[in-house]
Amino acid sequence: MITFDDFLKVELRVGRVIEAREFPEAKKPAFILHIDFGPEIGVRKSSAQITALYRAETLIGRLVVAVVNFPPKQIGPIMSECLVTGFHNENGEVALCVPDQEVPLGTRLL
């Protein structure tokens, strides 16, 4: 079990995808996403293995939830700066974790 204080260490924030493109150098099919988390955090890059259920062009403008306080991680030729969250469906495909209403960019999940 973790404590509530442990949970609070993870910064889950809302961002808007402003750019999405295929990531052909990735070992598994993925997109490179540029996500705007608002003025406090800014724009961060992420590699997201969500190609089974999404097309790059349909991701632009969508809100996503991501962990923004992990250290950057080198993934092929890019440095991933946040971790986009999602859930595996019955086929093992990733469905994004998203707010069901508009909220300000950078809003923290609590």
- Alpha carbon distance 87, 102 (integer Å): 20
Which CATH class for the 11-96 domain? mainly beta
How many CB atoms lie under 10 A from the CB of residue 100?
A: 6
Per-residue pLDDT, averaged over 75-102, amounts to: 97
- Given a cut of 90, is residue 110 above it in pLDDT? no
CA angle at 5 for the pair 72 and 43, rounded to the nearest 5°: 30
In which residue are the tokens 């609070």 written? Answer: 8
Residue ranges of domains in the chain: 11-96
Tens digit of pLDDT for each residue in 38-58?
Answer: 999 999 999 999 999 999 999
Tens digit of pLDDT for each residue in 1-28?
Answer: 999 999 999 999 999 999 999 999 999 9
